[in-house]
């Protein structure tokens, strides 16, 4: 999966849009949630907490918490997962 194709796309929790994805990271409610590397690593406070796997599933702390949809948006299953 090409993470760079997700830049400029949105972040959803279920069907509610809550943020966006930029080269500088993932933003939720206008605040930076995490850094996002071109390789799909999700980093918070300089610690890798998750990644986007080859199949487009978002993994945080070894748990599937969402997916990348067909429009390259990030869709999280629940706000509790974040």
70: Cβ contacts below 8 Å, ≥ 6 apart = none
What are the tens digits of pLDDT across the range 21-77?
Answer: 999 999 999 999 999 999 999 999 999 999 999 999 999 999 999 999 999 999 999
Strand 74-76 vs strand 10-13: parallel, antiparallel, or unpaired? parallel
Structure tokens given for 57: 């599933």
The answer to whether residues 61 and 44 touch, using CB atoms and an 8 Å cutoff, is: no
Neighbours of 35 (CB within 10 A): 16
The pTM assigned to this predicted structure is: 0.92
Give residue 82's pLDDT band: very low, low, confident or very high (50, 70, 90).
low
């Amino acid at each position: 999966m090409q993470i760079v194709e997700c830049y400029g796309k949105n972040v959803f929790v279920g069907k509610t849009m809550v943020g966006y994805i930029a080269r500088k990271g993932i933003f939720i409610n206008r605040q930076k949630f995490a850094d996002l590397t071109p390789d799909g690593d999700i980093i918070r406070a300089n610690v890798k907490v998750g990644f986007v796997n080859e199949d487009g599933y978002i993994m945080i702390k070894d748990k599937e918490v969402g997916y990348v949809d067909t429009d390259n948006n990030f869709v999280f299953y629940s706000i509790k997962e974040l």
